[in-house]
Every structure is written in C-alpha cells, then in structure tokens.
Amino acid sequence: METRQIANKSVIIHNYNTIIVGSGAAGMNCAVHLYEFMEQKKVNNPQERIAVVTAGIGLGASRMSGSDKQTYYKMGTSPDVPDSAGEFAKSLTAAGCCHGDLALAEAVGSLREFYHLVQAGVPFPHDPIGSYIGYKTDNDPYERATSAGPKTSRFMSECLEKQVRRYGIPIIDGQEVTHLLTIGGGKAKQIAAVVTIDKSKLAEENLPINVFFCTNLVLAAGGPGALYKTSVYPKGQVGIHSLALQAGLIAENLTESQFGLASIKFRWNVSGSFCQVIPRIFSADADGNDEREFLADFFPSMSRMATNIFLKGYQWPFDPQRISDHQSSLIDILVFRERQNNRRVFMDFLHNPVGSDSMKQFDIGSLEPEAFEYLKKTGALQDTPIERLERMNPLAIEIYKENGIDLYSEPLEIAVCAQHNNGGFAMNKWWQSNIDHTFIIGEMAGTHGVKRPGGSALNAGQVGGLRAAEYIVNVYGCDPPDYSNHQAEIDRQLKQIITKLEAWGSSSGLVPEEVIDKIQNRMSSSAGHIREMNDARRALAEAVKLYKEIQKQGFKLENKKSIISAIQAEHLALTSAAYLKAIMELLEQGGGSRGSYLVLDGDGIEIHPDISNKTTGKTLKFKPENEKLRNSILQIEYDRDEPDLFRCNTIKPRPAPAPGKAFEPAWQDYREGKIYGC
C-alpha cells in the first residue's frame, strides 16, 4: 500500500494479483478457490495476493434475500433417481438463448461445488444414511432442488466468509466502486485497476480514493436491483453494470429478468409454501380499508382460483405462458392491475380465500388433485393457511417475525417485483469476459437464458467462481502486476475521475435521489414484466437524455455523503439506458412475450375477456413468443458515439462441446495445461 498525489489529492494505491469485487456467495467462493488453487501450486502466501473489495459485507442479494425455503439447484443426489450432467445442462438451455458450453460446465461442476458448500458448513439437510435429500421443482423429475431454509444464500456467503477469514484473505469493506481503469486497446486492452471511494472516510477533508491494481479482476457485484422501484432485491443493491459496460465489457440477454410476487414492507419472495398454504389474497385502499376479493371475478370457480394460488408456489416467476385459461400467472397480472388502480394488495394467512357470490366457499377437499395430494402428503390439511404454514414450514413464519411482521396478526403486503437478472455479461467457458484477465461471476454473469430452473442462480455463481479461479492460477499466474509502462495513461484517467467528482458541488446540478427515483419509476413501468413497443421507445429516449444531462450538469451534493448517491445515480442512469436499448432492439426484431415478461400487442392473445385497456376499452392482448429468437443471443456494447449510447449485435448460442476424449489423451491434455487453451 502506498500513497500517491494525483490532481493534488492523496490516493491510496494497492497491488494484488487478483481483486474480487463483491462479497456475496459468488465472490467469497471465488476467493476461497483462488487461495486453494494457489496453495496446491505451492505459491507462497496466497492470502497476500488476493483481496475482496466490497461496498458492504452485509449487503447484496446473497446476504439479504431469500424465500420460504431458498433453493439451491444441483445435480440430483437421490440414491434411486438417476441424473446426469447432460440432462442437467438440457434443463438449463431448454427455453433458449443459453450457451451450451456454460450450461454443461455448470452441470459438471454442480456437485463439486455443492459438496464444497457442505464442507464449508452450509446446513443442507441429509437423511440418516447421508443422502442429500432433494425435492422436485416445476418440471424437474430429478429432485435436484435442495435448501438450507429461507436463508440458504446467506448461510453460503457467511460460511464462505469464515473460510476466507481463516485463510487470511483481506476483505476491504465499505468501498463504493467508482471506475474500472483500463489500459491498452483492442485485444491488448486490460482492466488494470478498480477505483473506489472509501465510504467510512467520507467525513475527511480529502476525497478518500483507493486504487486497487490487479493482474486479474473478478467481477461479482450482483445484479442491478436498484434499477426498479418495485423490487425484492435488497435496498442499495446497485451493482456496477455501467462501469463494466464503459470499460468495454459486452453484455448479453439484458432483456431477460425475472419478476414475481414478493412482500414489500420487508423485501422477501412469497414463493413456495407461502402460496402453497393458499392464503386469502385481497386488496384495500391506501389506508387499508375497503377490502375487496379482487381475484374472484376472474376465475370460474373457487376450486380453480384456490388451486392456482397453490400453484403460484412453485410456478413462482411471472410467466406469460401461464396466463390464458385461468392459469397461475393470471394472479400476477391481477395483482399488478390492482396496484395500478392505486389499491394495495395483501396476503392474509388467517383466512382461506373468499370468492364471489357465484362461487362455492373454500373447501380444501375440492382443490384440484395436484394441490390436494401435495397438501395431504405434507400433512397440511388444517383449517387455516397459518396452521398449514406452521405445519409445512415454521421457518417461513419465523423469517417475518425476525423482521417485525407477525403473520398471526397482520396481512402481508405484496407486489409483482423485479427479482433476478438472467442476463449479464458475456464470457467464455472459463467465465472470462471479452477482455482478457477480467472474469464475471454470480448474478453479473449472463449465463442464464430466457428461463432458468429455480435455484440454478446459486449453482451458477459457485461454479463460475471455481472456473475463474482455476483459470487464473493455471494460466495467468499469481504475481501482482507491473503497469509502470502505462503510468501516463493511468494518471490521466485518475485525474479525469478526480476532476469529475470534485466538480460535483453544493451549488448546481441534478439531485441524485431525484434522478434515482425517476430511473426506478421508468424501469418498473416500461422495462418490468409488462412491455410495449411505443412505451419502450419513449422510455429509452428519456433514459439516454437523462444520462446525457448528467454528463453536462453533474450533481448537486447536499453533503459529503451524497457523493455515493451521485455515483450510484450515474451508474443506474447508464445501466437503465443499456437495458432499455436491449429491450427496444429485441422488440424491433419481432420479440414476443417470453421468460418472465409479456409484450402487449393489439393483435395478440387475449389476457382475459374482462381485462381491457382503460383508454381504448379494448380487451388487452399480448404477443406470443417468437420462438425463432430462442436461437439468438442479443449482445450490447457501449459506444458513446451511438445516438442511443449502445450498439447491438446478435450471436448464436454456443453448443455444448462434443463428448470428451478417452482417459489417456485427456490426462495428457490436463498434465500439459492444454485444457485451458481450448
């Protein structure tokens, strides 16, 4: 560590072989693997070569998010249900736009990483003989899903953190990433350093800037959850997508995110048992009065309505292919519509669903067989939803209690929220991005296609960290960098950043919080689970204009701490333009409703005969999926000279590699390090 003077400011310089940005389950796991691979290679003091740099050890989706029993999707471990990596990879690629080589690598690495977590201390349940019991998620015959309870991802990141600390790897907390410093150009381009503001030292006179130089960079900063107003991502999960885009990293599938029902007072998914116990779902006015059973008018019978509330449990993400004919995603549409009409929506666990005058009363014995058999099998046929939840999953009640909500006495306010980013940054089968020495893992990596099996995000994050670490240690080595030949280039960029940040002051400019609010409202209404061409076009134009205004006017800072909100507002402004550009491009290519969003279109499929456009009075219709686009991945790249700031390109998903070689030649390839070259 040394201090240098740049633009009359003291800047603290650090030098590591590998910097990992982000301390969620993905980042922590990569740090552990880097240490272990270095140790295997007999590298001295691995802990001095690696550092985890993070905005907050307690922040991010892994630490702060979950559901009734947060799912980890791994290859089947049932003693009597056979599974294979090939079948697992097929499940990952089934809905299209997913690279076959990445899916196969996630499949092959799945059990290795699962047992790595078991060893780290994550309490995944096993039976008396030692089998890790799985359960079936939707369309999964292999019982691949498992869970350590509502807080699986939290346990993962905490157990891995303990290991990181045991190894003595530094975790440098409180660092807001401000810039990714690049050197060179074309194929020789490299991200040489991560520039941060130390949030713990904002009160000091000097702007507290750290520069972390590195030979290798692993980006594990999660999804840009703060893009959306209606979001179940933890508050403050901003991510660093804009910085990665500006550094030249190519993103893929940014159109594909996951949306679904979640509680909003305490942000948590209400998937699984929360729905399977079939709570009453009602709406109320802003003060909680004038209760209405708004679902009842849209279902033909109590049995159908109650069964669909049950099914929402494991058909959790909003899915346009599950709307027509009164399927479970009609519930998301109705919840959204109710909230659009300024009504609040609640789940009430004290009462069973209430129907309309023409419906029979709720009767658990009249549920459709799939729901009834499940509840019978789990012994959850009690009279009320809360009793059924107590029976099925008491931890689901506990998690709300821990967060100040008593499901025995108050209903749970819900909304259709942004939950996960299936797209992200492009990389090869070693999770290396289009810029050599930079790797992307966890939710920042765009490994998922249009749909992903529930729980596969956590698996992908673990396998990605393993793959990146193996490649770094075996191909790029373990030494810190020497960028002395690039000093002028580095100093110029550092001066530019400092000058920009110093120019933001108290007298003029945009107000960061207002900018963030605008972005979040726009993204939730135009880039969420309901999209429309003209609206997306307008939203993109506004997003680009806002970003350009920020460049011209800068920010007005109320106090020293406001600089963090300003940095985040700038990130989100560019990121939102990228997402909207991708959405617009796909709509122009003829993209329809798929994954977790619906595209409104006057010529499409009716959502429901009684759901119409308020202005035109016509029934609302949506465009079906354009299946041809399953075989093309939309890429997006930052280009400041483009009118919309981004350039788009489409590529074909890479196939899974053909079956491998015989043992002896494969062994030779491994010994000679050839496996990293192909």
Residue with Cβ nearer ligand FAD (61 or 345)? 61
Among 55, 251, 305, 331, binds ligand FAD (CB under 6 A): 55
Nearer to ligand FAD, 302 or 515 (CB): 515
> What count of other Cβ atoms lies within 10 Å of the Cβ of residue 374?
17
Strands 209-219 and 438-440: parallel
Quote the CA–CA distance of 389 and 395 in Å, as a whole number.
9
Q: What single DSSP character describes residue 355?
A: -
Sheet holding 598-606, edge to edge: 530-531, 598-606, 621-623
Q: Which of 134, 455, 509, 653 binds ligand FAD (CB under 6 A)?
A: 455
Residue 217 or 600: the one with the smaller Cβ distance to ligand FAD is 217
Name the DSSP letter for residue 605.
Answer: E
Identify the H or E element spanning 636: strand 633-638
Interface stretch with ligand FAD, choices 217-225, 328-336, 427-435, 630-638 (CB under 6 A): 217-225
Per rule CB under 6 A, is residue 244 in the interface with ligand FAD? no
- CA–CA dist 272, 310 (Å, integer): 9
Least distance to ligand FAD from the beta carbon of 623, Å?
A: 28
For residues 215 and 476, give the distance between their C-alpha atoms in angstroms, rounded to a whole number. 8
Judged by CB under 6 A, the residue of 6, 11, 20, 25 near ligand FAD is 25
Does 222 engage in binding with ligand FAD (CB under 6 A)? yes
Which residue from 232, 302, 323, 583 is in contact with ligand FAD, where contact means CB under 6 A? 232
| Residue 461 in the binding site for ligand FAD (CB under 6 A) | yes
For residues 485 and 224, the answer to whether their CB atoms sit within 8 Å is no
Q: Could you tell me how many residues of this chain bind ligand FAD (CB under 6 A)?
A: 44
User: Which residue carries 């789990």 as its tokens?
Assistant: 378
Residues 415-434: x/- map of binding to ligand FAD (CB under 6 A)?
A: ----xx--------------
- Contacts of ligand FAD in 309-328 (CB under 6 A): none
Q: Does 184 bind ligand FAD (CB under 6 A)?
A: no
Candidates 17, 19, 24, 132: give the one binding ligand FAD (CB under 6 A).
24
Distance between CA atoms of residues 433 and 249, nearest Å: 7
SS (H, E, C) 182-249: EECCHHHCEEEEEEEEEHHHCCCCCCCEEEEEEEEEEECCCCCHHHCCCECCCCCCCCCHHHHHHCCC
Q: Which of 15, 17, 18, 23 binds ligand FAD (CB under 6 A)?
A: 23
**Is residue 442 involved in binding ligand FAD (CB under 6 A)?**
yes
Pick left, alpha or beta for residue 273 (phi over 0 → left; psi -120 to 50 → alpha; otherwise beta): alpha
Maximal CA-CA distance, the chain = 79
Least distance to ligand FAD, CB of residue 536, Å:
24
Distance in Å, CB of 31 to ligand FAD, minimum? 11
Whether 197 contacts 209, CB under 8 Å: yes
Least distance to ligand FAD from the beta carbon of 152, Å? 7
Residue type, 561: K
Q: Which of 91, 110, 237, 422 binds ligand FAD (CB under 6 A)?
A: 237
Applying the rule CB under 6 A, the residues between 509 and 568 that interact with ligand FAD are none
68 lies in the site for ligand FAD, by CB under 6 A: no
Q: Does 150 bind ligand FAD (CB under 6 A)?
A: no
Rounded to the nearest 5 degrees, what angle is found at the Cα of 322, between the Cα atoms of 520 and 454?
Answer: 70
* Dihedrals phi, psi of 70, to nearest 5 degrees: -65, 130
To 10 degrees, the CA torsion angle through 558, 564, 568, 569?
A: 10
- DSSP codes of every residue in 124-140: --B-TT--B--B--TT-
Binding mask 250-279 for ligand FAD (x = CB under 6 A): ------------------xx----------
Burial environment of residue 669 by CB neighbours within 10 A (0 to 12, 13 to 18, 19 or more): middle
Out of 11, 19, 26, 333, which residue is the one contacting ligand FAD (CB under 6 A)? 26
Output the six-digit token pair for 363.
């009767």
Among the listed residues 85, 117, 180, 238, the single contact to ligand FAD using CB under 6 A: 238
65 near ligand FAD, judged by CB under 6 A: yes
DSSP summary character for residue 395: H
Closer of 260 and 353 to ligand FAD (Cβ): 260
Task: Give the nearest distance from C-beta 332 to ligand FAD in angstroms.
Answer: 15
- Scanning 58-66, 320-328, 518-526, 585-593 for contacts with ligand FAD by CB under 6 A, the matching segment is 58-66
Closer to ligand FAD by Cβ: residue 571 or 623: 571
Q: What angle do CA 227, 231, 236 make, to 5 degrees?
A: 60
Task: Name which of 62 and 328 has its Cβ closer to ligand FAD.
Answer: 62
Distance CA 647, CA 662 (A): 43
Indicate the residue among 23 and 635 with the shorter CB distance to ligand FAD. 23
Does position 70 interact with ligand FAD (CB under 6 A)? The reply is yes
**Residue 304: CB minimum distance to ligand FAD, A:** 27
Residue 294 burial (CB count, 10 A):
18
Is residue 220 close enough to count as binding ligand FAD by CB under 6 A?
yes
56 interacts with ligand FAD by CB under 6 A: yes
Assigned token pair, 534: 């003209």
Query: Do 258 and 420 touch, CB atoms closer than 8 A?
Result: yes
Closer to ligand FAD at the Cβ: 240 or 620?
240
- Using the contact rule CB under 6 A, the part of the chain among 85-93, 159-167, 389-397, 452-460 near ligand FAD is 452-460
Judged by the rule CB under 6 A, the positions of this chain that interact with ligand FAD are 21-27, 54-56, 59-62, 65-67, 70-71, 153, 175-177, 220-222, 232-233, 237-240, 268-269, 419-420, 442-443, 454-458, 461
